[in-house]
Chain A
Amino acid sequence: MDKRPTVGLFVTCLVDTQRPNIGFAAVQLLEQAGCEVVVPTQQTCCGQPAWNSGDDASSRVLAQQTITAFEGFDYVVLPSGSCAGTLVKHYPEMFADDPTWLAKAGDLAGRTHELLSFLCDVLQVELSPVVFNETATYHDSCSGLRELGIKEQPRHLLANTTTLTLDEMEDTDTCCGFGGTFCVKYPDISERMVDDKLSLASQTGARVLLGGDLGCLMNLAGRASRLGLPLRVFHTAEVLAGMADGAGIAGKESK
């Protein structure tokens, strides 16, 4: 029998602190797909906030830390398109002038995948069926979409695995206004953008909003909950793993 592929799971700092359920869903899905999952405890943050703030020195330190923490795995998988994009696209840019680390960054980039596209494109797995009798609408997060080309993969997995009905909103690929530090630096503009997005989502028949990046989902869910919209927000992995039975992100769990 072939050796099971080893996967280093980089949960990302947001999932780690704000929504562990996504981390557990990722582990479950990867194990279901026959991977041996390891969660290195040396991981912290991929460094994206520093990189996007122009702090290159800190980004490089965090990138080196990540590269070292994830040495030796067949694959490195993240339940986030924007963090995966940082490892795949931006780590090599960070070390453009440093051949030793550039080689390591290149090696990591070659092994790194966003969770949903990994399941769909690389493993091409059939997941165990999940009953989720809901109408959902999908938000395409910008980095995943434009840096990694993630668009059809989550839809394909959802259609093949679950019983949900997808009711697409208009402009699925317009930014929700999160933008990392953008949303706290320019809260008024961000608020307008998230409101525009939520109003498009609300025009569908969906009561569930899905996506693949917790940053965007926290933004959407946090705003929806403030406005009292009847929308439950989940990461796609939670639905695929059959772990989306609660009130969703920012929702009130009835215990």
Chain B
Amino acid sequence: MSVQVTSHTFKQNAAEALKDAPLQDALGNLKVGFIKKRLNAIELVPEWQRIRDEAREMKNHVLENLDHYLLRYEHSVQANGGHVHWAETSANAGEIIVDICKKANAKTVAKGKSMVGEEAEVNRRLEEVGIAPIETDLGEYIIQLAEEPPSHIIAPAVHKTKEQVSELFHKHHQQYGLTEKITNRVDLVTEARTVLREKFRNADVGITGANFLVAETGQHVLVTNEGNGDLSSNLPRVHIVIVGIEKVVPTLEDASLLLRLLARSATGQHFSNYTSLMGGPKRDGDKDGPEEFHVVLVDNKRTELFDSELREMLRCFRCGACINHCPVYGAVGGHAYGWVYPGPMGSVITPAMVGLEKTRDLPHACTLNGRCAEVCPMSIPLPSLLRKHRRTTFEKQLQSMRSRTALALWSQVARRPKLYRNLSDLAVRTLSWLGRRQGHVRRLPLVSAWTKSRNLPTSGNNRTFISEYTAQKNRSESS
């Protein structure tokens, strides 16, 4: 499923999401699951903060020497007999992949979950040339059937309820002779496995992402909970890894440092079910493995991010903790954000990758409550990065005329203490009079966005605190 950018209609997307009852049910489960499990997992790691600090330093070092480590990685992959391709844009990445698949005469491709693959719209590009991509991650498989993009970076089908999955399987699995409608969670998984196993076996090419690239060995680390990444890597003749350039780390020790943070932050597991270290084609004497091995290193604005004030975002290793803890995401889900990456990390990355003009709502649709930064294992200051987007929005005058005018008026008044005092006193008098019976106002034209769902408290005083206090002081001093 290709991903059209719909971030420019964020408000409408969000309004629809809030009314979507099954989506709201599904989001409710997210809140209890991930958050509590993460807490339990990190409680058992007393050195958590120290690991976070080390990881931040290590990653900063890598980013500052990114060219060095990438070249080193390339060299090591080549020494292992693999091929490295450099893709400047997501389109380049897509083209490279299509090319490799065509050369391999591929009919079907087994795909592991990859967010960079979403950036590059790999599925759409393959379908366009008549190659069938088959998602092998259960969540990805579900949304492929539903023809929807992922709504979460580690739980792509988190927005689907069990009932919806049951419907989908019932509709799409008839063709395999599986006609009985299944509703039980375990049975649903078993049925998906049955269908997918067959497809793994017949796939000509396997495409996966990678969590880390190890420069010293040319290997990559792939973490999954279903083992589908391993099957996608090892069974087909050709294996392609598509990965962002920021995923490189110097050594295996560095990868294991990040592994200590990753699963705990993502799903609250100490370790994911499968953590695999792979690299290069099958060697003489190996029992399995692909005949050909390719890595597509994708830039897609990452070097631009590096040169910008958003550089810290490149430490992100896509654990999803910020998303799980974001109350806005929890209210509207991932699709409302309108592109590949949702939640706090998405609201930083998406404007950088697809342009602030089309995504200006994203950095603003945040209360700056700071919970994301608190849980981010890579210590990325997400709220301040969002604020940097807001500054650019302001400087380029991308905000609506209305909010710009309101802000300008307010700041002009706030710069003039005397005028400010007079106007506040007037406002307070008016409001108190309006709210004199109830202690609040139910409707007020200028602040209708507030009074739509809330009453506006009024103070019951006829003056501001400062006027009242100053008056009292003067009285007591003159008496």
CB–CB B394/A54 < 8 A: yes
In the complex, whether A50 has a CB less than 8 A from a CB of chain B is yes
- Once the chains are docked, how many angstroms separate the CA of A184 from the CA of B466? 26
- Residues of B near any A CB (own CB < 8 A): 11, 14-15, 18, 327-328, 331-332, 364-371, 373-374, 384, 387, 389-395, 399, 403, 407, 410-411, 413-415, 417, 420-421, 424, 427-428, 431, 437-440, 442, 447, 449-450, 452-461, 463-466, 468-470
CB–CB A54/B390 < 8 A: yes
Question: Interface readout for A23-58 with B: 1 if CB under 8 Å, 0 if not?
Answer: 110010000000000010111110101111111101
- Residues of A near any B CB (own CB < 8 A): 11, 13, 15-24, 27, 39, 41-45, 47, 49-56, 58, 61-62, 65, 69, 93, 142-143, 146-147, 173-175, 177-194, 196, 218-219, 221-223, 225-226, 247, 249-253
CB–CB B447/A142 < 8 A: no
Shortest distance from the beta carbon of B367 to any chain A beta carbon, whole Å = 3
CB–CB B403/A39 < 8 A: no
CB–CB A41/B470 < 8 A: yes
Q: A16-B424, A178-B367, A188-B14 are in contact. Are A65 and B415 (CB under 8 A)?
A: yes
Given A146-B374, A225-B439, A252-B438, 18 other A-B residues pairs in contact with their CB atoms under 8 A:
A17-B424, A17-B428, A21-B459, A49-B410, A54-B390, A175-B369, A177-B367, A182-B364, A184-B450, A185-B403, A186-B365, A187-B449, A189-B18, A192-B331, A193-B327, A194-B454, A223-B453, A250-B439
Do most interface residues of chain A lie in helix, strand or loop, or is the interface mixed?
helix
Shortest distance from the beta carbon of A255 to any chain B beta carbon, whole Å = 9
Closest to A37 in B: B469
Which residues of A have CB within 8 Å of B370?
142-143, 146-147
Which residues of A have CB within 8 Å of B415?
44, 58, 61-62, 65
Shortest distance from the beta carbon of A160 to any chain B beta carbon, whole Å = 27
Q: Give which listed residue, A20, A226, A250, contacts B461 with CB less than 8 A.
A: A20
Which residues of A have CB within 8 Å of B407?
49-50, 53, 55, 58
Which residues of A have CB within 8 Å of B366?
179, 182
Q: A54-B394, A182-B367 are in contact. Are A11 and B454 (CB under 8 A)?
A: no
Q: A62-B415, A192-B18, A226-B455 are in contact. Are A251 and B367 (CB under 8 A)?
A: no
Shortest distance from the beta carbon of B138 to any chain A beta carbon, whole Å = 29
CB–CB A174/B450 < 8 A: no
CB–CB A16/B466 < 8 A: yes
CB–CB A142/B367 < 8 A: yes
Closest to A26 in B: B465
- Once the chains are docked, how many angstroms separate the CA of A235 from the CA of B375? 28
- Once the chains are docked, how many angstroms separate the CA of A53 from the CA of B408? 11
